[in-house]
Amino acid sequence: MSTLRSSLEELRAEDLRFAGDDALVGDLAELERASGALEVERGRRIAEIERRQAHRLDGHLSVASWLAARFRLAWPAAVRQVRQARALEAMPLAREALAEGDLSRSAVDVLVAAREANTEAFERDEGSLVEAARTLPYDELRRVAAYWREAVEPERFEREHDHRHSIRRLYVSPMLDGMVRVDGDLDPETGQTLITALRSVQDADAHRGPDVRSAAQKRDERSARSAAGG
């Protein structure tokens, strides 16, 4: 651990203002790979602490509550770490790929959910699913995992799909001050479509840069366009 801390201190001491673009990109890639290995090692230790019931020494009934208290984590974050640690114990190919930096943490979450859907089928198909996670973008991987679940458990998948479809709702309400309030729950496919559309708008705004015009200038420009159109 002292070697790890020394390496981190060396990184923190580096003045990034003098780093070239290629060096920055390369460093980020190495850090992403290293973060996967750290995820695996953290998971191994969480699993071992749970196996030994060491969290009970501090009066906690679950390792998740111990993690949340000991490291001041939000409860969902602690639960996610425990869930992943347990799953990776039984996912050797995914664990190795994550340690080698070939999988993102988002991809691991998809694989963990797939395993929880059908443990036996996942053990049989882990190699194919991990290979998909190595090569596909996140959105495509989610679709592959959904197709896999539909193939191995069609009845359960259909029930879940029907349930998600039945509880869909979306409310868009204009407010008195001109703002618009949006609230709802969408199924994964519709939700992903909405996220993609919003990202496109955000990307377009980012390319245009910040709008520094005053309100009066914006009104004048709109008036000028209206007059030209008339």
In whole angstroms, give the CA distance from residue 68 to residue 60.
Answer: 10
| Phi, psi of 116, rounded to the nearest 5 degrees | -65, -25
Identify the band that residue 86 occupies on the pLDDT scale cut at 50, 70 and 90. Answer: very high
Which DSSP state fits 61?
A: S
Over residues 38-51, the mean pLDDT reads 94
pLDDT in tens, 126-154: 999 999 999 999 999 999 999 999 898 86
- 89, 81 in Cβ contact below 8 A? no
* Least confidently predicted of 39-43, 48-52, 184-188, 211-215: 211-215
Mean pLDDT of the chain: 84
Over residues 23-34, the mean pLDDT reads 88
Residue 194 has pLDDT above 80, yes or no: no
Identify the band that residue 180 occupies on the pLDDT scale cut at 50, 70 and 90. Answer: confident
Over residues 111-129, the mean pLDDT reads 94
* Least confidently predicted of 11-15, 72-76, 78-82, 154-158: 154-158
- pTM score: 0.65
CA distances in angstroms from 152 to 140, 158, 192, listed in the order given: 18, 12, 23
